[in-house]
Structure 1
């Protein structure tokens, strides 16, 4: 009896903690309401299963407790019960998988009008890159990384010469414009995560990953690394500022290009004179990516 009471109290305590808990999702700041819906459906299915199974367990302990003159009935096989369990388990799993698969399909299907931004992770900081007027990110590889070229851009790729480089951990994005986030790591596994965007993806060394989103409200949000990446993992934070398009365009035009940075270092890209390229006035549509 005591065990049954403890189980029942555990169920009631869990429900009360969920209702009264101050820890919950941050207000949504992107187009990914479908991710919230998928999470809510999963939560409800798991809640129904948790409450039902534990209350059934508590009832069974009371109903079939040991009593003098009562013996247990052994039933080695029960096809009817097994079919019911298989059916309800299958429906529960399908109910959790279907919304997530739909959201995932949307998550990796980038709109044609999405702009492109690259986030580069390393122990333990972020860097960002925007395409220039050509709308194409130049190729990059860790083999090209030098003190003068920390992003590892290919100096012989003409598409990279007008790329805009942001060496700080502050990223700015325009509100209500779809953006394809291209993700690259210089060293180990990292994960780009902004809780208010509900968007996250691993940065895998040697592989270019991506997702897309549309920021839906202005504000300042924290960028976190959601993958344990070493002793300084807790310090790998950044900031994304979502602002009006005109303000973003002004900020972007003030950022240096790859050609400008290399010229300042006295080592311009191959085939480029020391004159610096003019930064674009606004973010360009997605016409390519890191290769």
Structure 2
């Protein structure tokens, strides 16, 4: 009897915690309301199953508790009951899977007019790269990574010369414009996650992954790494600033391109070569 009461109190407490809890999803700031709908449908299907099964178990414990003179009825098989359980279980699973599959179909099909931004993760920071006026990101490879080329861009690829490099953890995006996030990792598994965008994806070493979304609210939002990536995982944070198109264009025009970075790196070498030549002439 105490067990039945305890199970019933557990159900009541769980419902009250859900209804009265101050913790809920953050306000959405992207186009992925369908992901919220899939999560809420899953939550309520699981809630119905949780409440129904536990209350049935509490009732069965109370109804069929041991009493003098009562004898249990042994029934090893019940085909009718098994068919009902199989049917309603299938309905519940289909109800949880269908909204998620519909959302996923949209999630992996990037609109033709989407912009492109590359996010690179490494222990324990974020960097970003935008295509230049040509709208195409230059190719990259691990072999090209050096102290002067931390992004690993192929210097012989003409599409990479105008790429805009952001060597900080602050990402800027224009409001209302779809964007494809291309994700790379330099070392271990990471995960790019902005809770308000409802969109996330793993960064896998050796391959490029992606997702897309459309920011729908102005403001600054935290970028988190949602994949345990080492002892500094907790501090792998960044900021995404969603702003109007004019403000975004102004900010982007102030950033350094890969071509400018190469030119800046070559200047000291030219100066050293000139100095060496001058010294050689002075000894003659």
The TM-score with structure 1 as length reference comes to: 0.91
Task: Say which SS state the counterpart of residue 241 (structure 1) adopts.
Answer: strand
Q: Which residue of 2 aligns with 1:179?
A: 179
Q: Which residue of 1 aligns with 2:150?
A: 150
Q: Which protein has the bigger helix share?
A: 2
How many corresponding residue pairs? Answer: 268
Q: Could you list the runs of 4 or more consecutive aligned residues of structure 1 that deviate by over 2 angstroms after TM superposition?
A: none
Q: Which residue of 2 aligns with 1:73?
A: 73
Q: Which protein has the larger Cα radius of gyration, Structure 1 or Structure 2?
A: 2
- Please tell me the root mean square deviation across aligned C-alpha atoms, in Å: 1.0
1:267 to partner: Cα distance: 7.7
1:110 aligns with 2:110: yes
Q: Which residue of 1 aligns with 2:29?
A: 29
State how far apart, in whole Å, the 2-side matches of 1:19 and 1:100 are. Answer: 24
1:63 to partner: Cα distance: 0.5
Task: Say which SS state the counterpart of residue 266 (structure 1) adopts.
Answer: helix
1:96-130 deviation line (CA, Å, top 9, x unaligned): 00000000110111000000000000000000000
1:215 to partner: Cα distance: 0.2
1:253 aligns with 2:250: no
State how far apart, in whole Å, the 1-side matches of 2:36 and 2:46 are. Answer: 15
The TM-score with structure 2 as length reference comes to: 0.93
1:123-134 matches, within 5 Å, as: 123-134=123-134
1:21-60 matches, within 5 Å, as: 21-60=21-60
State how far apart, in whole Å, the 2-side matches of 1:69 and 1:156 are. Answer: 90
1:74 to partner: Cα distance: 1.1
**Gapped runs of 5+ residues in structure 2?**
269-284
**Gapped runs of 5+ residues in structure 1?**
269-291
Task: Say which SS state the counterpart of residue 86 (structure 1) adopts.
Answer: helix
1:7-22 matches, within 5 Å, as: 7-22=7-22
